Amino acid sequence: MTQKILIVDDEPHIRRLMEQTLEPLEDEGAEILVATNGKEALELIQKETPELVFLDVMMPQMNGFDVCNLVKHELKIEGIYIILLTAKGQEFDKTRGKEVGADMYMTKPFDPDEIVEKSMEILGLA
């Protein structure tokens, strides 16, 4: 069974960096999906139900908090691990992340090794 990882970020260089970071997981059978904004992310999540979502907080059209809240509380889609990515590491954001149902919170710039390790752990590839 193919496991899907969705990368959501409105900044092309961050998306590329994340894709390159997660590339080795493709050898383990993971499929990497990409969305450039919250609205697109929501559509992909509903269509593809990825196991893991790296979700940027600050985005046009719909921010990461709203997407996360919709997925976890309103649509109640099961089995999706959402990691919020943000440039802001304030407590307020972490609290808000918990409120909307995020499973984890990572601050940019992130450590690529940590991204890979966490992804493998979540997908059971470790």
The domains located in the chain, with CATH, are 3-123 (3.40.50.2300)
Contacts of 12 (CB under 8 A, 6+ apart): none
| Whether residue 71 has pLDDT greater than 80 | yes
Query: DSSP character for 110?
Result: P
pLDDT band at 126 (very low <50, low <70, confident <90, very high): low
Task: Work out the percent of the chain whose per-residue pLDDT is above 90.
Answer: 84
pTM here? 0.95
Ranges assigned E (strand) in the chain = 3-8, 30-35, 52-56, 81-86, 104-107
pLDDT tens digit string along 11-60?
A: 999 999 999 999 999 999 999 999 999 999 999 999 999 999 999 999 98
